[in-house]
Structure 1
Amino acid sequence: MKVPYEQIAAYLSGKALPWEKAEVDEWLAESAEHRSLFRSLEKEWSFLKEGTPLSLPDKEQVWTKIRGMIDFPVTTALYSKQILIKYISLTACIALLFGVALSLLFNSGRGESTQFTAYAPLGEKAQLTLPDSSRVWLNSGSTLTYFTQSRQRRVHLQGEAFFEVTKDPRKVFIVQSGDVSVQVHGTSFNVSAYDTDPDIAVSLESGLVSLFNNKNGVVLAQLQPNQMGRVSKADLSCSIVADDTGITKLWTNNILKVYDNNIYEVVKKLERWYGVDITLENANPDSRYTFVVKTESMKELLGLLNKMTPIAYKIEGKEVTIRLR
């Protein structure tokens, strides 16, 4: 995906020339994936510009500063269902560097924390190694933000990620998503916190984690391995259920598991997995679906769905229409 980052920076600063604004508008109109990425960048820009005068420094100066400041390893791998090697690390690395560039734009010479952002576009996934050697897998349509020079190892997540956290008794590791924080020292776990989902789900593979209410610091739950904590976004109520994390994290091995989901939940997962927009017609919310997607294309998957429930479908690029008969 070609992203006009320089034009977007000018656009967000309000200094875009007419041709730059037109290029960004045209890029946004191309797909929902572009608009989703733009919203993430817009949020980051809004956060960084608070109380700081906007400026667009010389591009060469920015890259020189970036090279000078990155003195620790941050590695990224990006892969997709259809193309496992092609475009490896491209989009996520660009997102990371764009986050660095924005931070340099506002914090140069001030010794302040640097912000890094990784984004896995719809239909793709990303793998990252953080400065403390913790490893993170980002699911489709997810964003992870990390700040350096912090007393705590804190990351902000929108979407879904699987974490393998390196132990460090001196610094707790915190994953924050909305009003919920997951606090760990060294462990592996999955967090699912998409904006469109009603709950935040944390599934623990090993170690021990605590779930906190960010508003008042109250502990919502402590999880043992093979347990899942579900926190309602509406009232922050929490329930704990048994869970097989090996199944929950199948997506990190490029396998999508749908278990006992209604058609609306299925559509949300397929949109993220394949990076498409699905229009659903004549849906029956009472029908439940269970299946596994490995290497199947969108067309092959719809053929399998047709065997479970008679459907008619139409695929036009990234626009998919499904009509249940």
Structure 2
Amino acid sequence: MNSNNNKYLTLLSKVLTKGASLEEKEQLEQWTNEDSTQKAFVEETTKVWNLSKNYAEELPLDMNKAWAKFEAKLETKKAKPTLLRSLTSYWKAAAIIGLVATSLIWFATQNVAEAIPVLAMVETGAEEQKELTLPDGSLVLLNENSRLTYAKDFSVREVRLEGEAFFEVTKQNGQSFEIKTQTTKTRVLGTSFNVRAYAKTPVEVAVITGKVAVESIEEGTNASVILLPNEGVVYDAIANTMEKNKQTSPNSLAWKTQELVFDNMALENVIETLERYFEVEIDSDAKILNCHYTGTFKEPKLDEVFKTIAFTFPTDLDIKKVDGKYILVGEGCE
């Protein structure tokens, strides 16, 4: 219960039981007239109290003790069950229960209203990216099909991410910054890093600068890791595994930089990178997967990438498209 509201509930109980001083009465009156909701509460509570026929016993402030005391009174009344006393007990019960219930409902309503923050949400669709500046000055680049949610007042530096985003977090007097996904929490002070957390896929975090702590928030797990620049981690919630990589993939930020870099990379990894970047399915002969490829593509187009790879490949490479799927066929490398 809000301590300020609790103070005025105490004053109201004193006024109703005629135990309030003149100063306390004035304080309650001033508070009552400050807000229409507060005024309605005082008026309704007073009406309920008056139904008790001015039951002149001080209202206990401990709700549990009040209820226990009330039950004890009912047990006493059972010994002398007259109609008049039964009715009197009924009205006393109604008054106490009404006052307690009305108070609790009103305060609960106030506390709930105070507890629920006003949220801001930024979303992107297919092939759409958005840049935004958070209230603390941190910069976010949101990748396609993603959603970022945070409290507008940003009193706590915390965001929730569904999808992928690159963060440049500002330092703020040692206050941490947290990114929550469905299965992980990433905590930083001031740094730049990438978080990938699309539905039904492992969460990936890649650090560019600074220091980042990543931990699982799945029930029954306690996996965590500290990442330094150029380090990354992949958390698979289904397998409950957290794998730290000492060297991040050169293409972990390709969606942001619009550049693909292959430096003597195994074709198997090249294919994985192309599937992820272009959101396509690629099959190949197993015998060509051990071949390596080197090349850089700025603002890449898939057809151009395939043509360049086929032209510069150490052996003959044929690329076909069948039923929406790309198939790579060729001879293996020694």
Question: TM-score band (shorter)?
Answer: 0.5 to 0.7
> For the Cα contact (< 8 Å) 1:263–1:287, is it kept in 2?
no
**What is the match of residue 202 of structure 1?**
205
Task: Please identify which structure carries the higher strand content.
Answer: 1
**What is the match of residue 260 of structure 2?**
256
**What is the match of residue 149 of structure 2?**
145
Question: Is 1:313 paired with 2:321?
Answer: yes
Question: Is 1:238 paired with 2:246?
Answer: no
Question: Is 1:184 paired with 2:188?
Answer: yes
CA distance in 2, matches of 1:126, 1:298: 23
Amino acid at match of 1:311: I
Question: Is 1:296 paired with 2:287?
Answer: no
How big is the shift at 1:116? 2.7
Shift in alpha-carbon separation, 1:194–1:283, aligned structure 2, 3 A = farther
Among the aligned pairs, what percent are the same residue? 24
CA distance in 2, matches of 1:285, 1:118: 45
Amino acid at match of 1:214: I
> For the Cα contact (< 8 Å) 1:231–1:237, is it kept in 2?
yes
Greater RCO between the two (CA within 8 Å, min separation 6)? 1
Structure 1 alignment gaps of length 5 or more: 1-109, 273-277
How big is the shift at 1:227? 1.7
How big is the shift at 1:147? 2.6
**What is the match of residue 77 of structure 2?**
none
**What is the match of residue 165 of structure 2?**
161
Within the candidate set 281, 286, 289, 1:287 is matched to: 289
CA distance in 2, matches of 1:236, 1:299: 37
Structure 2 alignment gaps of length 5 or more: 1-112, 330-334
Question: Is 1:134 paired with 2:138?
Answer: yes
Matched residue SS, 1:302: helix
> For the Cα contact (< 8 Å) 1:158–1:195, is it kept in 2?
yes
Amino acid at match of 1:265: E
How big is the shift at 1:163? 0.8
How big is the shift at 1:151? 4.5
**What is the match of residue 129 of structure 2?**
125
> For the Cα contact (< 8 Å) 2:275–2:281, is it kept in 1?
no
Amino acid at match of 1:268: E
CA distance in 2, matches of 1:251, 1:279: 18
Matched residue SS, 1:168: coil
Amino acid at match of 1:310: D
**What is the match of residue 265 of structure 1?**
272
Amino acid at match of 1:313: K
Matched residue SS, 1:300: helix
Query: Higher Cα Rg: structure 1 or 2?
Result: 2
Within the candidate set 222, 226, 232, 2:230 is matched to: 226
How big is the shift at 1:281? 6.1
1:146-174 CA-partner distances (Å, limit 9, x unpaired): 23245422222222221110112364211
How big is the shift at 1:252? 2.1
CA distance in 2, matches of 1:285, 1:270: 24
CA distance in 2, matches of 1:233, 1:226: 23
Q: How many residues align?
A: 206
Matched residue SS, 1:310: strand
1:74-129 CA-partner distances (Å, limit 9, x unpaired): xxxxxxxxxxxxxxxxxxxxxxxxxxxxxxxxxxxx66423333333333433221
Within the candidate set 200, 215, 219, 2:218 is matched to: 215
How big is the shift at 1:177? 1.6
Matched residue SS, 1:116: strand
Q: TM-score by structure 2 length?
A: 0.51
Task: Please identify which structure carries the higher helix content.
Answer: 2
Amino acid at match of 1:239: E
Q: TM-score by structure 1 length?
A: 0.53
CA distance in 2, matches of 1:114, 1:281: 47
How big is the shift at 1:228? 1.4
